Amino acid sequence: MEKELLNGILLGIITNGDNPEQALKEVSDLGFATCQVDVTTYSPELAKQLKNAFLKYKLKPNTLLCLGPGEQEWNFTEGPATVGIIPLQYRKERMKRLKEGIDFCNAAEIPAVHSHFGFIPENPGDTLYTEFIELMKELGEYALKQGIDIYFESGQETPVTLMRAIEDIGTGNLFVNYDTANMVLYGKSNPLDGLKMLAKYVKSFHAKDGLYPTNAMELGKEMPIPNGIVDFPAIISFLKEIKFIGEIIIECELSNQNTDYIVQTKKYLEGLIKSS
């Protein structure tokens, strides 16, 4: 299948990087030009294997997904106390993991590490907010010395809160992986409006769809693209309007999102990107 740069945009998927040869061959065989990788255990040997596999299959590395260790609950109730580096009980281990991920990116020539850093408090005077800013400054400066960027996964806070945090941290290498569905699932913003607020920081996307929450205890429901409320024609139109250059990564979290779904979604997004 042909791999194309479409109006400055590359399409990709998320893959496990523990077996680089197999994983990146599958990405290439599906016709994608880029991918995000998730790795269980970082090592110099695996970094070299990944680097070589990216070169062999002519794929552009997008980000290294770096999460954990420890419990993470993706909901409104336990999420704020378990996700990212804001919860005190997980900070030490997760800061260590993130620094190891930055080191791994440098060795594998992956340009950015990418994570859910936590439910960023809305109040800039909140102690958790000020502690978070200091932790992220430490990470940002650590990554900057190695030429690595850091991408925030969007959705667990409002766009303006994320923008404020990036600017308060201020290391200059902090950007956004904009998850179109997370803005909906967490009830934080209309995806297009949120994108317009964060556009100057957005370097890559998760193409995902969903519905807004219908009660205060549970996230909204994820849906296959384009069966949710994310307006992908409007999103893509805006990206072309601002001459966006970057990657759109198809994220598949529903159990029925198999290879057929990935190929179908790839064709759908290509059609939108190619249209005038």
pLDDT digits (tens, 9 = 90+) for 37-66: 999 999 999 999 999 999 999 999 999 999
Q: According to DSSP H, which parts of the chain are helical?
A: 20-29, 44-56, 79-82, 91-108, 127-144, 159-169, 180-185, 191-198, 232-241, 259-274
What torsion, rounded to 10 degrees, do the Cα atoms 117, 123, 124, 127 define? Answer: -70
Domain 9-274 -> CATH class: alpha beta
Query: Burial of 60 by CB count in 10 Å (0-12 exposed, 13-18 middle, 19+ buried)?
Result: middle
Query: What spatial distance separates the first Cα and last Cα of the chain, rounded to whole Å?
Result: 23
Q: What pLDDT, on the 0 to 100 scale, is given for residue 79?
A: 95
Split the chain (276 residues) into runs of 10 and give each run's mean pLDDT: 74 96 96 97 98 98 97 94 96 98 98 97 97 98 98 97 98 98 97 98 97 94 96 97 96 77 95 87
CB 209 within 8 A of CB 180: yes
| In the chain, domain spans | 9-274
Q: How many C-beta neighbours within 10 Å does residue 103 have?
A: 18
| Closest by CA position to 104, among listed 171, 51, 173 | 51
Q: How many C-beta neighbours within 10 Å does residue 233 have?
A: 12
CB 54 within 8 A of CB 104: no
Q: What DSSP letter does each residue of 36-74 carry, written as one string?
A: EEE-SS--HHHHHHHHHHHHHTT-EEEEEE---SS----
Q: What pLDDT, on the 0 to 100 scale, is given for residue 206?
A: 97
pLDDT digits (tens, 9 = 90+) for 184-228: 999 999 999 999 999 999 999 999 999 999 998 899 999 999 999
Q: What pLDDT, on the 0 to 100 scale, is given for residue 6?
A: 81
Indicate if the alpha-carbon torsion angle 86, 91, 93, 99 is positive or negative. Answer: positive
Q: What pLDDT, on the 0 to 100 scale, is given for residue 138?
A: 98
